[in-house]
A and B are shown apart, each in its own frame.
Chain A
Amino acid sequence: MNKALLEMRGITKVYPNGVVANKDVHFSLREGEIHAIAGENGAGKSTLMKIMFGMEEPSEGEIFIKGEKVKLQSAQDAIDRGIGMVHQHFMLVPSFTVAENMVLGMEPRKGVGINYAEAVRMTEETAKKYNLAVDPKAKVQDLTVGMKQKVEILKALLRGAKILVLDEPTAVLTPQETEELFRELKQLREQGHTIVFISHKLKEVKAICDRITIMRSGRSEGVFQTKDVTEQEISRLMVGRDVVLKYDKEILSIGEPVLTVQGLGVNDAHGKALLTDINFAVRGGQIIGIAGVEGNGQTQLIEALTGSLRGVSSQGSVLVKGKDIRESDILDIRKLGVSYIPEDRMHQGIASDASIADNLLSTQYRTKAMNKGPFLNGSRIAKLAVSLVEEFKVRCSGPSQPIGMLSGGNMQKVVVARECSTEPQLLIAEQPTRGVDIGAAQFIHQKLLELRSDDCAILLVSADLNEILEISDSLLVMYEGKIVAFFEEPSKVSEEELGLYMLGIHRQDEEQIRRAVNHV
């Protein structure tokens, strides 16, 4: 019956830093199906898709389209062959209108200028053909995330894509927006398109996909008819064992507030409010979670807590152990006992060319214990590095290995090890398990809970709802720079209910939100 529309054979990809992202992967796509690629973060899904889309060249392996061997050397090659991709992080120009974004790189001309009316017409025509309503004249920066995604899909369709690759399309969507996306995808399938759906969310995979390729640590674990496998089976194949994120948390007596945020407001350079009247407190031995769709002020809140507010006008106060830190620099804040696991480890969290030991040292190298006269105390440092590598089970050849050669999960373990090793009184954890395999994620969660038992106050910001509902003692929801909800027992909140608050559809009254300050 259906023969392969696209086939990838024996794909191996090794990145220059030594990371093996794909190992002898086979993948085959039939015309007119929705095909899921499921796997944990770091399993090699995105790399495989980048290879399919011509953004990365495989170290080994071949690609066939309709039986013909092809070499995809750029995204343009892939587009020419009818492959379209919707990236996890949208590739749109925010200050342009929808129509302008749609025709970017293939603008209809009128003399030397761009025929804007024609661009609008093309957009409308495509939108109508595929029954995806967008406003061609709206600016992209004013659109919701779901709308932006629609524009990305239309963009690919306009370029003649018959195969549509969606990289974690639901990661930034609320449950309601996700449902709408699924309706659209089914409709595209009926019109004869083939869709590759990358995800690690099993419910979604079960809901709309015909077949599923499961990946684990760079290898393909096999192809299945979605209806023939249960969620449990998929998860076992993805992880190699059964996983449920479920932890037994000790009931702790809660200490004094370590972090108190009162009436915090921050505006950007144009006077637009980024944060408005933020009030909450985090006490010793307590984990406060912050949930929200990305881009609703979480980043600005973290910046305010980690020393980026200097010289920025702000209202209210941010007190760490009673001291207002808004004008403190990072070193002063760290000296108060604050540790910080940053969201983007490559950007901030590690120095990738430096050794693991050097990366573990960066928050401690000033201390008396690590110095001997004018020199660093080599034997102490070695001891610290060896013990942390052991304690955090970092898989490496030794502490002198450059950290850039480790896998994402092991890098993150080094970051967490470093931030936990200074006996912090307040830990700010921003997406601590993003892009990390499940084993490392569980390990990191255990470490957070251990710190909690040691009376550390923890602020957890995460887009992973399962994580945040399971780990947090109390939960805040942010929407458009404001706190819109406070839950004292997150494990009793369903993801759907949370979604309504994250979308801004529901909102608690002031009284309920205020409890975030005084609750015990």
Chain B
Amino acid sequence: MFKVKYFEYIRTSAVIVIALAIAFLIISLVSNQPVKTIGIFLFEPLSSKGHIGNVIEMAIPLMFTGLAVSLLFRANMFNLGAEGIFYFSGVVTSVLAIHLTLDGWLHPIVAIAAGSIVGALLSAIPGILKAKWNANELVTSLMFNNILFGVGLYLLNYHLRDAKAFANVSYKFEKTALLSKMVPGTRIHTGLIIVIVLIIAAHLFLYKTKWGYELRMTGINRNFARYSGMKTAKVIILVHLIAGFIAGMGGSVEVLGMYNRFQWTSLPGYGLDGALVAMLAKNNPLSVIGAALFLAYIRIGADMMARLSDVPSEMISIIQAIIILLISAEQFLKFWKNRMLLKEAKEA
């Protein structure tokens, strides 16, 4: 029989199943060929090497932001600033990719490091405001998203823009700055290795070091952490620095791995998607890999569906909305948990 301790896993799986079921229901109402459309949605991402590549390419930035947000959520900081930092660090990296001349292997390292450090420093601001004056990190981080987007777009328009290009894009990056592709026939780049290493490092940090311990305890009960002698203000600033570093690195890697010019004229949305990934992963670094792949998979599936059938890809927003709604709804399936509790209590 199901045990209460597995309840959260069961709940997450149930949410996904329900979301997909509703998606199928809508598809069958909208589409003229529902069975075929669902088939495309479900299986097309696996149909070729290129499509599998698409899924992994899309999962890379999601892993970066998902990891950053997971760490913040772990510290009980509801900070959604990964969005703006992801964007702005991309701009910073682009500047260095365009204007710097360096040896092949050093160039991306310098550019990415700069983007990451800028991300960390920017992220520290809401952190310090929270730690020192208890300013709500959700509000400050969301405002920062707008500010960073505005400044980034200004830099693109007035300093990086290539007048010869037909769209609002930057000058071309130096070839030496680009990340190399790993798998022929796809655009999977070395950023995948970087993010996997980062995820493992974050896992070790969170569960195996005293700093990670402080972070987890502060997140669960800040009063308890303080009472035990932890400097919780420092912990909060530290987790903001780390999360900003990771989100910034994500933006930098994405820019150098997938593009040869900077071309985001709106926020790319990966930061907010990171929150969804973190929720699905239950804020566990290692689970972020699976959650990001899942999200990337259904998105690519929806893209394929839009291209090959009569259902638009916006379908995916419905699935995401249902997932977010049900996961954050504490009452969902609670009656069932109560029943399991009652049963276990009787057996005990």
Contacts and interface: CB of A to CB of B under 8 A. Distances in A.
A12 B345 CA distance: 10
Contacts of B348: 20
Interface in A18-32: 18, 20, 23
Range, interface on chain B: 20 to 34
A390 B217 CA distance: 24
A342 B348 CA distance: 31
B221 to A, nearest CB: 4
Contacts of A91: none
B154 interface: no
Contacts of B341: 14-16, 18, 59
A351 B338 contact: no
Contacts of A329: 229, 231
B345 A354 contact: no
Nearest to B222: A351
Given A12-B342, A59-B341, A376-B209, A352 B223 contact: no
B345 A362 contact: no
A16 B337 contact: yes
Contacts of A363: 228-229
Contacts of A14: 338, 341-342, 345
B342 A351 contact: no
The 9 closest A-B pairs by CB, nearest first: A331-B229, A362-B228, A351-B220, A351-B221, A20-B345, A348-B227, A14-B341, A334-B229, A351-B224
Contacts of A334: 228-229
A113 interface: no
B314 interface: no
B83 to A, nearest CB: 28
Contacts of A59: 338, 341-342
A40 interface: no
A244 to B, nearest CB: 31
Nearest to B207: A376
Interface of A is mostly: mixed
A352 B221 CA distance: 8
A365 interface: yes
A129 interface: no
Contacts of A492: none
A376 B213 CA distance: 9
Given A348-B224, A363-B229, A376 B210 contact: yes
13 contacts: A14-B341, A18-B4, A18-B344, A329-B229, A334-B229, A348-B221, A350-B221, A350-B224, A361-B213, A362-B217, A363-B229, A375-B204, A376-B210
Interface string A360-396: 0111011000110011101000000000000000000
A342 B210 contact: no
Interface string B191-234: 00000000000001000111001101100110111111111000
A330 B228 CA distance: 8
Given A59-B341, A358-B213, A376-B213, 13 more contacts: A12-B345, A14-B345, A16-B338, A20-B345, A331-B229, A340-B227, A348-B223, A351-B221, A354-B220, A358-B216, A362-B217, A370-B210, A375-B204
A375 B209 contact: yes
B222 to A, nearest CB: 9
A334 B210 CA distance: 17
Contact of A352 (B216, B220, B227, B344): B220
A366 B210 contact: yes
Interface in B175-205: 204
Interface of B: 4, 204, 208-210, 213-214, 216-217, 220-221, 223-231, 334, 337-338, 341-342, 344-345, 348
B220 A362 contact: no
B332 to A, nearest CB: 13
A481 interface: no
B181 to A, nearest CB: 34
Contacts of B231: 329, 331
A258 B220 CA distance: 33
A20 B344 CA distance: 10
A23 B348 CA distance: 12
A347 interface: yes
Nearest to A372: B208
A362 B209 contact: no
B216 A375 contact: no
A374 B205 CA distance: 9
A376 B221 contact: no
A256 to B, nearest CB: 25
Contacts of A375: 204, 208-209
B345 A18 contact: yes
Nearest to A378: B208
Contacts of B220: 351-354
A44 interface: no
B93 to A, nearest CB: 29
Contacts of B338: 14, 16, 59
Contacts of B4: 18
A253 to B, nearest CB: 32
A60 interface: yes
Interface in A210-236: none
A42 interface: no
Nearest to B339: A59
Contacts of A331: 229-231
Interface in A298-316: 306
Nearest to B211: A374
A374 B209 contact: yes
Nearest to A364: B228
A351 B217 contact: yes
Contacts of B216: 354, 358
Chain B CB within 10 A, most for which of A330, A365, A366: A365
Contacts of B344: 18
Contacts of A354: 216-217, 220
Contacts of B228: 330, 334, 362-363
